[in-house]
Chains A and B, each alone.
Chain A
Amino acid sequence: MSTPPPRQGTRPVAIVACAQSKSERRIEQANEVELLMPVVTEVYANAGMTKDDVDFICSGSTDYLIGGPFSFVTALDAVGVWPPKAESHVEMDGAWALYEAWVTLQEEGKDVALVYGFGKSSLGDLSRILALQLDPYTMAPMWPDQVSLAALQAQAMIDQGLATEEDFARIASRARHNALSNPNAQVANEKTMEELMKDDYAVAPLRRHTLPPLSDGAAAIILVAGDRAYDVVDRPAWITGIDHRVDAHAFGARNLAESRSTTKAAENAGVSAGPVDIAELHAPFAHQEILLRRAMGLNESTVINPSGGPLAANPLMAGGLIRFIEAANRIMDGSANRAVAHATSGPVLQQNLVAVLEGAS
């Protein structure tokens, strides 16, 4: 096996096992621990490992989804950090927890990491919760909701001639179609662009179908450094490039129709260094797929969001990590050789992470 060399760091790191819950609008029968535990159990089983094999654990979640401090602390009860483990938590999507784990595995002697992310959007009013991400002096007091902010971005794209409402509907149509073959998806059906265009506006110019569903869900990944990855799986999904960047928060000070942070992260991750078979883009709103695709320079030969993407299932704090899972699964099963996984955080794509996953040649 010829492990593809990584662009960042010195030690190749691969995704070797994944697990995710089925996304649902409301998972009432499970609290966070019960949501997470089967997923963690499954990822260990998929890797043929136990908690004792893991050198580092990192998770992504946010307290505001549950409305109480330290939600990540109780979630640890699902993971079994005993004997005590090297463990950390980011108040970010699980994709950034993966980034931290990837950094940690650069060190010799740290070979296996568990990464997970979880979130239940069903407990509160997500639009109101997310308004608390905005500048606390000049924006949050007006409680702008995430759909309206996304609509500002979509309109900027339309004004700049980058997309039309029909383009948005075409993306939603394809996402729902792709989701039919994804058992974890929440929104899956066959609807043509023309049918979807009959939808009402949620906030113009965004019609209902351009919005992501509200989802509860959890996801977990096992990362392994070096050749040990081949002990777990025949075709590990090697992370050959990974980078993340942030844009200015004051989105009145930037062009909303572009994503400089994505462009820079994609350049550093080496997206354009070879053909991209598939890309899993964390574009919660349909228009953001067009924006991200342009920002990364992906051409027509790349299949976008074969899982259906966030338009089919979008558990906050796990949505980005699920993009890694969907991309890695397609490397591991041999259906793709080179894939892109992307995650976003913050209002209107403020922060973006891009990774290139490759199978060994």
Chain B
Amino acid sequence: MADPTEIYTSPHVLEYPYARSTGPIIGAFLTALRDGKIVGVKGSKGRVIVPPTEYDPDTAEETSGIVDVGPGGVIETWAWVDTPRFDAPLDTPFAWALIRLDGADTAMLHVVAAPTSDVVVTGTRVTAEFRPAAERVGSMHDLRCFVLEGK
């Protein structure tokens, strides 16, 4: 007989390979990443939004005009991860950071690879490090990480 007080538990996996159509603006951004570049889009009053969206997030007005930004930029804020989660973009200690790319008016979320936490501070200049062209498919992961400029 089964244990009359046992509470049954069971693993449950929810898994699906979502495939998302990007539309032209996000498509242009991902295409640029695949080509080893970063682009933004012009929003209301000409401010440059990165990553680009079809709309200016503050006014909802339609955006237009893809512009090149980066590959260098400045750390606006950061969070140092000593023990990366299994699903983190890097498996060695790194920083999540909001990075304002040169030519952009908004900051983008990505990761910064650095040897130690003390070299990652707000205001630090970083530059994009892409994966090799053959590995790039048109996703955020084409941009492997940012690294400290000149290091």
Say whether A and B bind each other. Answer: yes
Verify A201–B96 contact, CB threshold 8 A: no
Q: How large is the interface on B (under 10, 10 to 19, 20 to 34, 35 or more residues)?
A: 35 or more
A159 and B49 alpha carbons, distance in the complex (Å): 23
Kindly report which residue of chain A lies nearest to residue B47, judged by CB atoms: A253
A156 and B77 alpha carbons, distance in the complex (Å): 6
A128 and B13 alpha carbons, distance in the complex (Å): 13
Verify A142–B85 contact, CB threshold 8 A: no
Q: How large is the interface on A (under 10, 10 to 19, 20 to 34, 35 or more residues)?
A: 35 or more
Verify B85–A127 contact, CB threshold 8 A: yes
A252 and B57 alpha carbons, distance in the complex (Å): 11
Verify B96–A141 contact, CB threshold 8 A: no
A132 and B124 alpha carbons, distance in the complex (Å): 29
B82 interface hit (Cβ, 8 Å):
yes
A152-B78, A253-B58 known; A28+B7 contact, CB < 8 A: yes
Which A residues from 71 to 119 make CB contacts under 8 A with B?
Answer: none
Verify B9–A28 contact, CB threshold 8 A: yes
A256 and B109 alpha carbons, distance in the complex (Å): 13
B76 interface hit (Cβ, 8 Å):
yes
Which A residues from 148 to 189 make CB contacts under 8 A with B?
Answer: 148-149, 151-156, 159
Verify A137–B20 contact, CB threshold 8 A: yes
B82: chain A residues at CB < 8 Å are 201, 203-204
A205 and B22 alpha carbons, distance in the complex (Å): 35
Kindly report which residue of chain B lies nearest to residue A67, judged by CB atoms: B14
A143 interface hit (Cβ, 8 Å):
yes
Listed residue (B12, B81, B110) with the most chain A CB atoms within 10 angstroms of its CB: B81
A29-B7, A201-B80, A252-B106 known; A142+B58 contact, CB < 8 A: no
A-to-B contact residues, CB < 8 Å: 28-29, 67-68, 123, 127-128, 131, 135-139, 141-145, 148-149, 151-156, 159, 201, 203-206, 248-253, 256
